[in-house]
Amino acid sequence: MPKNIHAMVDLETLSLASNASIISIGAVLWDIETGEIKRRFYANVDPTQKFSEGLDINPGTVMWWLQQSDQARGAFLEHTPVNLKAALIELGLFIPQKTKVWSHATFDSVVLSNAYKQLGLATSWSFRDVMDIRTLTSLFKALGKADHNELPQRPEKLVLHNALADAEWQAHYVTYMYNDIRSSTGCQV
Average pLDDT over residues 6-24: 95
- How far apart, in Å, are the Cα atoms of 38 and each of 24, 73, 79, 95, 100? 20, 26, 21, 12, 15
Sheet holding 130-132, edge to edge: 37-44, 22-31, 5-13, 101-103, 130-132
Rounded to the nearest integer, the mean pLDDT of the chain is: 87
Q: Which residue has the higher pLDDT, 5 or 158?
A: 5
Range of the domain at 127: 5-185
pTM above 0.85, yes or no: yes
Average pLDDT over residues 82-98: 95
CA pair distance 110, 18, nearest whole angstrom: 6
CATH number of the domain that residue 43 is part of:
3.30.420.10
Cβ-count burial 7-42 (b if 16+ within 10 Å, e if not):
bbbbbbbbbebebbbbbbbbbbbbebbebeeeeebb
Q: pLDDT per residue over 108-152, tens digit each?
A: 999 999 999 999 999 999 999 999 999 998 888 888 776 555 667
CA pair distance 65, 59, nearest whole angstrom: 10
Give the count of domains, the chain: 1
Average pLDDT over residues 15-39: 95
Q: Could you tell me if 173 and 141 are in contact, meaning their C-beta atoms sit under 8 angstroms apart?
A: no
Q: Which residue has the higher pLDDT, 161 or 85?
A: 85
Average pLDDT over residues 159-185: 87
